[in-house]
Structure 1
């Protein structure tokens, strides 16, 4: 009886199947903590930008609130993956970011009138700032909060897919 002849070797043990294939390392996807951290950092940055836009124009711009929410959701979904908690966390962070942006915009707008710096308003007279926001807040302020939260929720779900 003759023994079967093995196929010719290419000289590469990995290509010849002599060593088992190892699975690719798990990426950062599906890392909830990373998704929340990315969303939180994005919320802080986008709140600052949104506040700057409001302060410079002295108007609330709906597209900017959508942008805030979208960026937060996108960061959470891309960094954290498809965990179902991330869209909810993104929406909550978006509410906070749009609110902080509105406060910052108000602080920028009234800082000259009150002869205080923006940082003094935020850190030493925050109650004055929130009282002013409550007096100025109308249906549009709350609409922008809701729009930002919806955009964040939607973006987190879509970017994780």
Structure 2
């Protein structure tokens, strides 16, 4: 019996047929820098890619608290300037103080469960010092002394003036700022 030689087949181009003799290998689309991985699929032109997995949750307490402290100092200064310029406490400003602190804590620190509580404490301190800055600005205008002299050299007088002018609305602003800080931290950490 005579054996016949297999008929010669033309060489296959890289765009058609199996790769390197492997019938299961997939071809890379034209212009793709790397071939598809085994077991993967090659995206067809016009097909949608699967959604990317969600980013891993951040959980950095130190960075969150540090960002909240910086925001609290800046917010206290701004809140104090607003009070000193208007000679009134403004509720929206207290909401802004709390929310900015919460936003900074949540964005920088993520979902750490301590951050909302730290943001509330910092918001309360920020509103308090903002009100003291406002009192010192008002006292500086009334006495003709510089702000730094009134605030640093006569801090006890500033605190006494704050206590005398504190009313239920003053403490409501503390609550508003604390709530805004807590909710701002939760929303920003999503």
Provide TM-score, normalisation by structure 1.
0.85
Whichever of the two has the greater Rg, that structure is 2
Q: Secondary structure at the residue paired with 2:37?
A: coil
The verdict on how the C-alpha distance between 1:99 and 1:34 changes in structure 2, with shifts beyond 3 A counting, is same
Are the counterparts in 1 of residues 60 and 108 from structure 2 also a CA contact under 8 Å? yes
- Alignment partner, residue 129 of structure 1: 158
Provide TM-score, normalisation by structure 2.
0.73
- Alignment partner, residue 21 of structure 1: none
The verdict on how the C-alpha distance between 1:30 and 1:119 changes in structure 2, with shifts beyond 3 A counting, is same
- Alignment partner, residue 171 of structure 2: 142
Matched, 1:92 2:121: yes
1:73 is aligned, of 102, 116, 140, to 102
Deviation sequence 1:108-127 (CA, Å, 0-9, x none): 11112222211112221111
Deviation sequence 1:77-100 (CA, Å, 0-9, x none): 111101111100000000000001
Report deviation, 1:8.
5.8
Count of aligned positions: 152
1:16 is aligned, of 36, 47, 63, to 36
RMSD: 2.2
Matched, 1:7 2:31: no
Report deviation, 1:12.
3.9
After the TM superposition, which segments of 4 or more aligned residues of structure 1 sit over 3 Å from their partners? 3-6, 8-13, 15-18
Report deviation, 1:146.
1.1
Q: Which has the higher contact order (CA 8 A, sep 6+)?
A: 1
Q: Secondary structure at the residue paired with 1:30?
A: coil
Matched, 1:40 2:69: yes
- Alignment partner, residue 103 of structure 1: 132
- Alignment partner, residue 52 of structure 2: none
